[in-house]
Each structure stands twice: as C-alpha cells, then as structure tokens.
Structure 1
Amino acid sequence: MITFYERRTQAHIERVQRNLSLLAEQWECGAELLARAEVHDASKYGPEERVPYIWLTEFHRCRWRKIPFQYPPGMEERVQSAIRHHVTSNRHHPEFHNDPNEMTDIDLIEMVCDWTAMSEEFGQDEGSARGWAERTIGHRVPFNDEKTQFVFAVIEQLDRLRTSDGVGDKEQ
C-alpha cells in the first residue's frame, strides 16, 4: 500500500513537472513555473497528509479495481482533513484562495498541468485537461470569463505542446 502510494504520487508529480517544463519554455514566467515544478504536491509527504493520502490512494486503487475497501476506524475523517489541508496549502488549488479569481497566471498554469497529469493517469480526454475544466469551471469553481478563457488557452497550448513532443501519443 505504501509502495503503491509512493510510486503513484511520484509518477503524478513527474507528469506535472514535465507539463510545467513544456510550458516554461513558452512563457516569460518560465523560471517560476520550473520552481513550482520542484515543489508540486510536496505537502503530500508532510505529516498532515502522508498517512491519510496513503489510505486515500488505496481507497481509489480498490475502487478502480472493484475490490471491497473499508477505512480503519477514524481514518476517513483524517483523509477528509488531509484533503482540506492539501487544497488550502497549495496555490494551484482554487480552494487555497478566498476567491478563485485571485489565482495568478502561474497558479492557473500549474492547476492546468495538474489536471492534465490526472487526465493522463486516468486515460481521460486523450490526456487533456479540457474535460476536468468543463466539469469544474462554473460548477465547483466560479472563475470569471477572463480566468476561464485563460485556463482554456493554456489547455490548448499544453495539448499542442504535448502532441508535438510526442507525450500525447504515449501511454502514461
């Protein structure tokens, strides 16, 4: 269970880092994007998140494989607390901000790279963040028109870069 968590989390971080690196070559804020890549999801290894996220990862692994699963007593509450900690401690999550429209371009770019990494992992939408954005923006996250347009422009740019880099053709 621990090994699976560590492998899965590291693979996710590496996908985000690869996506941020692709965009860093295109943006004036490239150095800041690369700095974000170095610390993306580091809180998942901290004391507030590590153990609960191991259990959360196991819950999802079992769900995907249709294996019965039950948290040990008290762990589900710890998992919910760890999720709250994660999204309120990392700028690339809209929940970090009092108003998601306060997110900077760098925050939004990292968020798109995170959503893209999840799409790649789950084999959704040809690895594009477009589906995540369509399911999230205006439903769970009330971005204004400017932020929404920016997010979709970044998604289009990253999708083009991934395809030209051959990433979109590879199994993640």
Structure 2
Amino acid sequence: MLLACWRNFVYILDHKLNVLIECWKEGLYIQGIIHDLSKFSPKEFFPYARKFFLNQELSKEDEMKWKYAWLHHQNQNKHHWEYWVVDPIDKQALPMPRKYLVEMVCDWRSFSRKWGRKVKKSNLNPSDSIVLHADTQRELEILLMKKMKINTT
C-alpha cells in the first residue's frame, strides 16, 4: 500500500502542475495553486491510491469507499460541473461562475498535456452526459470555439 500511496502522491503533483500551467495562462493563479487540494484529504487520497495504484481487484467495500471519494471530490471542487447539478434526472443545474468554468477547461486541457497530445477543441467537446445550466453551456461553447485562449475578466 505504501508504494500505491507514493504513486498516487506523484500523480496528484503531476496533475496539479499541469493544471497550474493551464490556469496560469488564463490568469487563474490562485485557482491553479489550490486546484484539487481535496485529493490530499484522507477521504480521497487512500481510496484513490487503492483504486488506481494498488494493482489488485478492489473489494466491494473498497470500491464503495472509492465511489464516496469521487463524490466527495466533486462536491468539494467547484470546477467540476457535477458540483452545480441540483437535479440530475431533470438535468437541472445552477449557472457555473466563469472562473470555475475556465478552471474546468484548464483541467480538461491538463489531461491532454499529460498524455502528450496537442489540445484541440474536438478533445474538449462536452457530451450529452454533462449537465449544465443553459447559460453555462453557451459560455462553454464560446470558450471552446475560441482558440483556447480564455479571458477571465
């Protein structure tokens, strides 16, 4: 388990660095620094380490702990669209403030950075499974149509 924890720690730092780079480009300095700090909390850190870095099948109990960790992560981080959903069945969400919407796009971009691919708008198209307020959806489409240079002012 110690090796799994180490690998998770290194992964989180790498992810945070990639998001910081993307947020820095957009003037989101503080958000880039504090992005995903909840991943270091015991509620998230250990279940993630077991799920992704232990290299063994999870027990039902550990799988449930990971699901709680993922839910905790979404509910603690405003850059996740799930944070703003008030009724997933009727697909109702509150408008997402622009700075969190931009951070979400930076988060998406960071995954492209991680795997060495150049970010393209087509890599960032939201699917039908993403529940957004109509205003947020329009703003996201505008952000994605721009050449990924996002002005937060």
TM-score interval for Structure 1 and Structure 2 normalised by the shorter chain: 0.7 to 0.9
Instruction: Give the residue type in structure 2 aligned to 1:44.
Output: K
Partner of 1:131: 123
**Which 4+ stretches in 1 moved above 4 angstroms?**
none
Instruction: Tell me the TM-score normalised to structure 2 length.
Output: 0.78
Q: Is the 8 A contact 2:95 2:136 kept in 1?
A: no
How far does residue 6 in structure 1 lie from its aligned partner after superposition? 1.3
Aligned: 1:95 with 2:82: yes
| Partner of residue 34 from structure 1, selected from 23, 26, 29 | 29
Q: Output the CA distance in 1 between the equivalents of 2:133 and 2:82.
A: 15
Instruction: Tell me the TM-score normalised to structure 1 length.
Output: 0.70
Alignment length (residue pairs): 141
Q: Can you give the 5+ residue segments of structure 2 that lack an aligned partner in the other structure?
A: 87-91
Q: Output the CA distance in 1 between the equivalents of 2:142 and 2:133.
A: 14
| Partner of residue 153 from structure 1, selected from 128, 138, 142 | 142
C-alpha RMSD of the superposition: 2.4
Q: Is the 8 A contact 2:95 2:133 kept in 1?
A: no
Instruction: Give the residue type in structure 2 aligned to 1:50.
Output: F
Structure 1 90/70 Cα, relative in aligned 2: closer, same or farther at 3 Å? same
Aligned: 1:77 with 2:64: yes
Q: Can you give the 5+ residue segments of structure 1 that lack an aligned partner in the other structure?
A: 25-32, 63-68, 162-172
Where relative contact order (Cα < 8 A, 6+ residues apart) is larger, the structure is 2
Structure 1 113/147 Cα, relative in aligned 2: closer, same or farther at 3 Å? same
Aligned-residue sequence identity (percent) comes to 21
Structure 1 21/156 Cα, relative in aligned 2: closer, same or farther at 3 Å? farther
